[in-house]
Amino acid sequence: MTADLEITRLRESGGKGFEKVFAFLRERLLAGSLRPGDRLIPERDLAAQLGVSRPILREALRALTVLGVVEIRDRVGTIVRRPDLSVLNDFFTFAFAQQSEVIDDVMQARIAIECQAVRLAAERATVSDFEKLQLALTRIAETIDDADAGSAADFKFHRAVVTAGKSETLIVLHDSMSGILMRSHRTRRELLQVFDTMKTYLIEDHRRIFDAIVGRDPEHAEKVMREHFAIGDDFRRRAAIGKTQSAS
């Protein structure tokens, strides 16, 4: 299908070699003229059309294999693949590993994603989704005194909410931040050592979210989810104040 591909337009024709290769694939994929399973034209022809050297083209294609956009096969050529979206999780984790000041911004994105997801879950959740949420809810109560297992249970519940929303885009975005979100859940569980009353909050608040989804009430579900995040933020704020006062 792609043996006769020609370039009709390149917005970044004057850019660097990598940018030309990336722009070519990006535009072709968006236009639908390249699809998973298609084979690119031979390297020498593609390099000539793009106006880049073959070594630069090869380096760019190797970089794209890491992202899962293409696959280079011996004696076959370069094949377009459906990207493995799980690499986004690795990207976020590495990108923010040494940028603690960005974590709060990621958490705001999480709130936006989960508040929309819980609305959709209240409309679209199936019986199977209810069962998964119920199991996760039970696990939260069972692991209330175990920081590691408890944080995993918290994450699983919220992940089940997003999945129940049936929005592939929200699911991908949530997945891409899963590494950072797991750390957030773990940090929250550590607050139980400071605020014993938080145990009841964690169990009951997740139950309220579950009940709102089962009740098929999108507006109430979003309201409960936002309150859930606000209460959690308040606990973290109080813990931070306590640490400051102890240090002084």
pLDDT, block means (10 residues), the chain with 248 residues: 44 61 87 89 91 89 85 89 70 63 79 97 98 96 90 94 95 85 79 73 92 97 94 67 58
Q: Which residues pair with 78 in a beta bridge?
A: 72
Give the pLDDT of residue 244.
Answer: 58
Give the pLDDT of residue 95.
Answer: 65
CATH of the domain at 111: 1.20.120.530
Give the pLDDT of residue 124.
Answer: 98
pTM for the model: 0.70
CATH of the domain at 55: 1.10.10.10
137 with 154, same domain: the answer is yes
Domain of residue 29 covers 17-80
The four Cα atoms 52, 56, 61, 64 give a dihedral, to 10 degrees, of -110
**Number of domains making up the chain:** 2
Angle at which helices 87-96 and 178-190 pack, to 10 degrees? 60
DSSP one-letter code for 39: B
Distance CA 54, CA 43 (A): 7
Give the pLDDT of residue 14.
Answer: 36
CB-CB contact of 221 with 122 (8 Å): yes
Give the pLDDT of residue 88.
Answer: 65
CB-CB contact of 141 with 212 (8 Å): no
* Residue 135 three-state SS: helix
74 with 91, same domain: the answer is no
